[in-house]
Amino acid sequence: MKIIIHGGFFSESSQSNEVKVAKQNSLKAIVKKSYEFLETNSALDTVAYAVSLLEDDELYNAGIGSQIQSDGVIRMSAAIMDGETQKMSGVINIQNVKNPILVAKELMKEEDRVLGGSGAKKYATAHGFEDFSTEIPQRRKEYEEKLRSHGKGTVGAVAIDKNGKLAVATSTGGKGFEIPGRISDSATVAGNYANKFCAVSCTGVGEDIVSNASAAKIVTRVTDGLSIENAFDRTFEELKEIGGFAGAIGIDYEGNVFHRDSHPTMVFASFDGVDFEVFV
């Protein structure tokens, strides 16, 4: 059993020591709590749980603390995928819910599993998700001053459970000040993908990740026999060719955990029950 989570990209120059320590403590606490959850739950349930914890922490750009778009509205996207069944579900540009990832998970049981905008919100309301504003004063201040002090951020989790099953979940509050209606990579197979062989969650510039089909490429390459390291290497070389900016975390069917980013600024944490790895 192993789990790795990420908290997106952050600008090193914009972070105080206090914020860095807070993120480090947060990531370590969430990955440990999620591993404990994994001990008695499936990988699918665990990645949804882990991402919901990240959504609940205003240090990250997902759920509470999501970025505000150019028209002053917060729209969030999230997706989850089961490596065993290869079912993926997600919400795109959903408004006024606390945990988009839990709405995405609820959609796993539906035939129509990816919903957007008002349809996603109506579904959430019908299934007991209360109306909730995820705006915090800091994001409103950033919006009003037209600043992006935290850069491009997304959160994600990848887990392998005691039965060797893989799952991935990803959630984002967007990049901030985008054109209303813009679609991120998080609720697509470019940013969130899993099968029986590998699971990957991405963060960074959504348009670059989609152009490179990053998560799907890595998983497909592992499926075709490449090691997870080589699959990451080849995919990030192709990302470099288009000047792309991204980071990714993944686990393969043998339990190998791997991460890579274009620049050393993706924050993440992993735990296998014994050893932590945390980077902030």
Angstrom CA distances, 275 to 30, 200, 218, 226, 250, stand at 14, 21, 25, 26, 17
Based on the residue annotation, tell me whether 154 is a catalytic residue of this protein: yes
Render pLDDT for 212-233 as a digit per residue (tens, 0 to 9). Answer: 999 999 999 999 999 999 999 9
Phi, psi of 148 (to 5 degrees): -130, 65
From 46, 134, 154, 265, the catalytic residue: 154
Render pLDDT for 17-66 as a digit per residue (tens, 0 to 9). Answer: 888 889 999 999 999 999 999 999 999 999 999 999 999 999 999 999 89
* Domain chopping of the chain, boundaries: 2-279
Angstrom CA distances, 57 to 50, 54, 90, 148, stand at 11, 5, 21, 18
**CA 158, CA 46: separation in Å to the nearest integer?**
9
Of 133, 78, 148, 131, nearest to 107 by C-alpha is: 78
Q: What is the mean pLDDT of residues 227-253?
A: 96
CATH of 2-279, one of 3.40.50.10710, 3.40.50.12160, 3.60.20.30, 1.20.1440.230: 3.60.20.30
Edge-to-edge strands, sheet with 246-252: 192-194, 198-204, 246-252, 257-261
Look up residue 279 and give its two tokens.
Answer: 């980077």
Look up residue 25 and give its two tokens.
Answer: 């403590």
Stretch among 40-54, 112-126, 137-151 having the lowest mean pLDDT? 137-151
pTM of the model: 0.91
